[in-house]
A and B are shown apart, each in its own frame.
Chain A
């Protein structure tokens, strides 16, 4: 089977800290792979390496059958990669509409136009509304992003990542800080998304992990210590000790 994403032996250290150590990973369309692990395990660093915002010290990364190891972030997006950020990363002073629109504009590809006013093309407006509707943000299109609730920040974050119809999606704790209803909504969205995409889901919320993941990878101290189906992981001794046995991550 061909993989949408394949990482071979990637590593990255910061000074003396080995944040990611010799990680192998494969991800196919239609699959959700959850990556779990305690705080500081290297999950966000892994996402950064795959997305290209961090350079790997070693190893290779292939996206859509292409060697992407040395490609910059925006070139990887062209290969179908989309990501969200653990720490919400939006355009705070711009409206929700403008936030989604700049994402859609990137996909629809008309950014070297200098004269006509932006955000007037009907194809763009339609797509912005569609994304907003999917995320339940339609009522908020004209509010500045920074004034939204935390839960809506997370949804906007996701809406922007989906604008380009990504075939590989890296989600860094999308459920962090969501309410119960919002979390259920997110689970439904993820289930739907995986039809067209390979999804890497970094998540602390075990309800989300065990209800959507097809495969679970456990990271500790930068290395993968276990990988398997959700049931395997639930019964895996080392995973238990490293992570699940704890009373849960101390996440606010």
Chain B
């Protein structure tokens, strides 16, 4: 990252740290809610970026892990098990396990087949949860209590939830940064470019892609755990394929295979979703058009444009 980039990151983090105080002062609690949701989506998009951006696999079922993470709050809470660490462990464990089991099958396919089979698994989970009446079925499940974390933390305080989400987002971005520049990351990126050659060099490419898939699933499970806490409600709709499609849109809009891209993409998505409906009913359409423009003219997403502009190559 450039020096200017680090400065920019520093200012952003500082702004994020001060935001709750401003929101309180300006009596705009709604802003905090918007940013919490934005950051949770950014975590989910970052996790998708690991497989979509860095490994080149388009999954149309990634939102299933958000659902799993959120149900990992909702279902225990339904039985009055509110221990946040337990719920978090369940969220990460079940997402990882589901990622492992489905990955063993999905990752044997490529391209359109991969898209279809990830979609199929996600829809399968969708219908499973629709059919479980106990947990609200189609109508979803209200989560009456947020996770209890102990250590003097109270997530019912929106400010504290905000800081927890912020810490998680930063941790995930640092993780993605380190991971994609590590030995493992080098393997993943090279497999994306030329898998046949990687095998000829002695790499069991399937194993590396599977590990990457599981890591991605677990990070998305974390996003789900946060989302369940935030919305206090979970329904099968959260894992619908349209949700997965939105995650893809965020990654591509912001800039695939970059650390900041998913955050940028989530910001654009939230911006469009929050502002455009006031102007037009058809905001999904405009988001779609924006996506097509970015896909057509800038392979690096908006982040790509921006960095090129910073370097002065596009001014």
Partner of A73, one of B189, B193, B200, B208: B200
Given contacts A89-B194, A93-B193, A113-B184, contact A106 B211 (CB under 8 A): no
The CB with the most chain B CB atoms within 10 A, among A92, A107, A117, is that of: A117
Partner of B185, one of A72, A74, A118: A118
Interface size class of B (residues with CB under 8 A): 20 to 34
A7-B32 Cα distance, complex, nearest whole Å: 68
A106-B190 Cα distance, complex, nearest whole Å: 12
**Stretch with Cβ within 8 A of B (4 or more), from A94-102, A175-183, A196-204:** A94-102
Partner of B182, one of A51, A115, A161: A115
A137 contacts chain B at the CB level, 8 A cutoff: no
Contact yes or no, B182 A98, CB < 8 A = no
Which B157-214 residues sit within 8 Å CB-CB of chain A?
Answer: 178-179, 181-187, 189-190, 193-194, 196-205, 208, 211
Contact yes or no, B178 A114, CB < 8 A = yes
Q: Majority SS of interface residues in chain B? A: helix
Partner of B181, one of A72, A118, A161: A118
Contact yes or no, A116 B202, CB < 8 A = no
Please indicate the chain A residues that have their CB under 8 angstroms from the CB of B203 in the complex: 74, 106, 111
Please indicate the chain B residues that have their CB under 8 angstroms from the CB of A93 in the complex: 193
Please indicate the chain B residues that have their CB under 8 angstroms from the CB of A92 in the complex: 193-194
Partner of A164, one of B186, B190, B194, B202: B202
Please indicate the chain A residues that have their CB under 8 angstroms from the CB of B205 in the complex: 74
Partner of A113, one of B182, B199, B201, B204: B182
Partner of B204, one of A51, A74, A103: A74
Given contacts A53-B196, A94-B190, contact A117 B201 (CB under 8 A): no
Partner of A101, one of B178, B186, B211: B186
Shortest Cβ gap from A211 to chain B (Å): 27
Residue of B nearest to A75 (CB): B204
Please indicate the chain A residues that have their CB under 8 angstroms from the CB of B190 in the complex: 91, 94, 98, 102
Please name the 3 residue pairs, one residue from A and one from B, whose CB atoms are nearest each other, closest first: A77-B202, A73-B199, A118-B186
Interface residues of A (CB under 8 A from B): 51, 53, 72-74, 77-78, 82-83, 85, 89-94, 98, 101-103, 105-107, 110-119, 160-161, 163-164
Q: List 18 A-B contacts (CB under 8 A).
A: A53-B199, A74-B202, A85-B200, A90-B194, A91-B194, A93-B193, A94-B189, A94-B193, A102-B201, A105-B187, A111-B183, A111-B184, A112-B211, A113-B183, A114-B184, A115-B178, A117-B182, A163-B201
